[in-house]
Amino acid sequence: MGFLIAAGSAAISGPNRRSAPILGGRSPTLPYIHQHPDWPRFTWSAEALANRLAAVRHRQGVHLGRMQALGFDLRAEANLEVLATEVVKSWAIEGEAIDRDEVRSSLAERLGLELAGLPRPSRAIEGVVAMMLDATRDFSRPLTAERLFGWHAALFPTGRSGLDPITVAAWRPESAGAMQVISGRVGRERVHFEAPAADRLAGEMAAFLDWFEGGDDVDPVLRAGLAHLWFVTIHPFEDGNGRIARAIGDLVLARADRTGQRFYSLSAQIEAERGDYYRELERAQRGGLDVTAWLEWFLDILERAIAASDGTLERVLRKGRLWQRVGDRSLNQRQRRVLERVLDVFEGKLTSSKYAKLAKCSADTAQRDIRDLLERGLLARNEGAGRSTSYRVPDDV
């Protein structure tokens, strides 16, 4: 068994054991794990997790090795693309959409990269990006209540969630009422669990932060899974808890990888498996303090996230080959913007009308740009004619 001990708990020595065992299973009178008398002394089976943990660690090492073998520019581009994906998908998990181009623009400016034709990011986007970079680039800096308050203020610079005023940069107040974790469309919401009452938050977060920066020997990857579950259970803010929980996870994974550059997106994989994510979260909340099943799921989805990042690597390599082909030949900002989008996460086929929309230009200008790109070999025409004519980046790029 593995055991997690809250600050001040006494340890009991024994083989592969650091505290007295806690019985698993749901108590009929205690619907949520934070109501358990031994909360938050989580337990898990190290033996059951060993093979999964080894597989994830191996895949991490292989993937990071491939990324380190890239040149500086391509590695920086991969980091930017993964961070942009992480930000956009973390919001998508909450059912909110944000402009990917604005996110990339903010990231590029803060990372010292030049990307032509991107829009000026809004204040809200700047705050989201600032939080993500603080979590990943400054991963060795201790996580404190003040740092979390700063992240929360960055997420809600106007002091509002949508149109509703909320308490910012402080634990949620009693006046906010019961905090329920809900998913689903309006009118068809599902309540997954109810978080601890506001009067418990100071003590709950103190225990969490003491453990988070403690010196136990929990593997950093397991620590990421435990931290996510623990923080989401407490739900200390009026809004933004899921996004901050995922930023905390990125911080821990950056510590595990020993680099502030991110080359895989856990949020992207969670968003792809959003239904399973909420089911596993609810299952963990309504069980006992044995979190083996939650950690098994976390390790599995993390391994799939790392595997999925191979697609990001291929897109970055294609971009590198494309700009190498461009060389010293000048392109206008419209052309660069569209080529970036086609090689990024473009959905469907590129037509002249889509080009005009992406480049924010007239149909005639779009046609001239496309003809120029075709002549340069930077676009190729797909089969079809007339209105169905579409284009792609050549296969040999």
Within-domain flag for 327: no
Count of structural domains within the chain:
2
Neighbouring CB atoms inside 10 A of 28's CB total 6
- Tell me the per-residue pLDDT of 261-299, one tens digit each, with 9 for 90 and over: 999 999 999 999 999 999 999 999 988 899 999 999 999
Which residues constitute the domain of residue 285? 2-315
pTM of the model: 0.80
To the query of whether residue 34 is one of the catalytic residues in this protein, the response is no
- Tell me the per-residue pLDDT of 44-54, one tens digit each, with 9 for 90 and over: 999 999 999 99
Contact criterion met (CB below 8 Å) for 179 and 172: yes
Same domain membership, residue 354 and residue 305:
no
Same domain membership, residue 294 and residue 366:
no
- In the chain, which ranges are E strands? 2-3, 43-44, 160-161, 164-165, 180-183, 190-194, 380-381, 391-392
Q: Which position has the higher pLDDT, 204 or 182?
A: 204
- Tell me the per-residue pLDDT of 220-270, one tens digit each, with 9 for 90 and over: 999 999 999 999 999 999 999 999 999 999 999 999 988 999 999 999 999
| Residue stretches of the annotated binding site for ATP | 239-246, 277-278
| pLDDT band at residue 2 using 50, 70 and 90 as cut-offs | low
- For residue 386, the domain's CATH number is 1.10.10.10
| Residue stretches of the annotated binding site | 239-246, 277-278
Within-domain flag for 73: yes
Same domain membership, residue 114 and residue 240:
yes
Catalytic member of 152, 192, 228, 235: 235
Contact criterion met (CB below 8 Å) for 248 and 231: yes
pLDDT, position 1: 58
Interhelix angle 145-155/241-257, rounded to 10 degrees, is: 120
